Amino acid sequence: MSIYQHFRPEEHDFIDQVIEWKEAVSHQYAPKLTDFLDPREQDIIKSIIGHDDDVKLDFSGGALDAECKRAFLYPEYYIPSLEDFQLKGYQLSYPEKFVQIEHRQVLGSLLGLGLKRNKFGDIYFHEKEVQLALSAEVSAFVELQFQAVGKVKVSLQEIPLSDLIAPKTQWDEVSTTASSLRLDVLVAAIYNISRQKAQLFIGAKKVKVNWKTVESTSFECAKGDILSLRGFGRSKIVTIDGKTKKDKWRIIAGKQK
């Protein structure tokens, strides 16, 4: 039985990479640290490493309940510590009494430095306080170069990882029906918009499934998928409960509070 049959075609390249990591740790008998992984990638790596006796697996994103985390694969003899994850925590200083900045602006400014998304972790907002986690290997560069968010001057102060606080994710469950499991149909049903509008959002790259932008309106969704629509928030498909008498899928979805 092929491992690939349990995953979507677009996930196969990542699966190949995980298998390479696993084999390298097993053959070289040395640990491997990954970049930041989104929760779907974490699930994939967990399912592939599984209960392997030779290769063990731990995750850390700095904060307790972090969403994006680095994975650390290691041989059974090795005892991992927090230092192995090579993480640094930061607080953003800016004139908060006079201006307001948003998550997407901080994210865009970090990417604008030429950073890849997998080199930094979650960005947390606690009212006007902004925190983030960085890979240690890019931290000196970011400290030096990250000087503005839009037109707002900013600076970074390193803080202990224990000071990073991830907000708890809460979901409101809603029940809906949909004529199919296509992405455009489900976005329309869950966010209570027209299918035409959903298609426009998808075409404009404003919709993500499992943290990846999806541009195909006919993309087939499944139980457990996390959807996000820019400006409308995040949702997840909790259950797909078969069909109604009118041949529509019964769906329980969670909408992030």
pLDDT digits (tens, 9 = 90+) for 220-234: 999 999 999 999 999
Quick one: the chain helix, strand, coil %, rounded to 5?
30, 35, 35
The confidence score (pLDDT) of residue 70 equals 98
Rounded mean pLDDT of the chain? 94
What is the SS3 assignment for 244?
coil
Q: For residue 54, how many C-alpha atoms fall within 13 Å in the half-sphere facing its CB?
A: 11
**Domain 87-163 class?**
alpha beta
Neighbours of 211 (CB within 10 A): 16
Q: Report the topology of domain 3-85.
A: Ribosomal Protein S8; Chain: A, domain 1 (3.30.1370)
**CATH of the domain spanning 171-256, picked from 3.40.47.10, 3.10.290.10, 1.10.10.10, 3.40.50.620:** 3.10.290.10
C-alpha span between 177 and 196 (Å, rounded): 17
**pLDDT reading at 169 higher than 90:** no
| Kind and range of the H or E run holding 251 | strand 249-256
Segment 46-100, tens digit of pLDDT: 999 987 789 999 999 999 999 999 999 999 999 999 999 999 999 999 998 889 8
Task: Give the amino acid at 231.
Answer: G
**pLDDT reading at 1 higher than 60:** no
CA 195 to mean position of chain CA atoms: 26
Residue tagged 């560069």 (tokens):
141
**What are the phi and psi torsion angles at 122 (to 5°)?**
-70, 155
**pLDDT reading at 139 higher than 70:** yes
**pLDDT reading at 153 higher than 80:** yes
State percent of the chain over pLDDT 90: 89
C-alpha span between 39 and 59 (Å, rounded): 11
The domain locations on the chain are 3-85, 87-163, 171-256
Give CA torsion, residues 182, 183, 185, 190, to 10 deg: 130
Segment 185-215, tens digit of pLDDT: 999 999 999 999 999 999 999 999 999 999 9
Q: Nearest-5° angle of CA 65, CA 190, CA 217?
A: 100
Query: For residue 239, what are the β-bridge partners?
Result: 252
Longest dimension (CA), the chain: 62
State percent of the chain over pLDDT 70: 100
Q: How confident is the model at residue 128 (pLDDT cuts 50, 70, 90)?
A: confident
Token pair recorded at residue 182: 């296509």
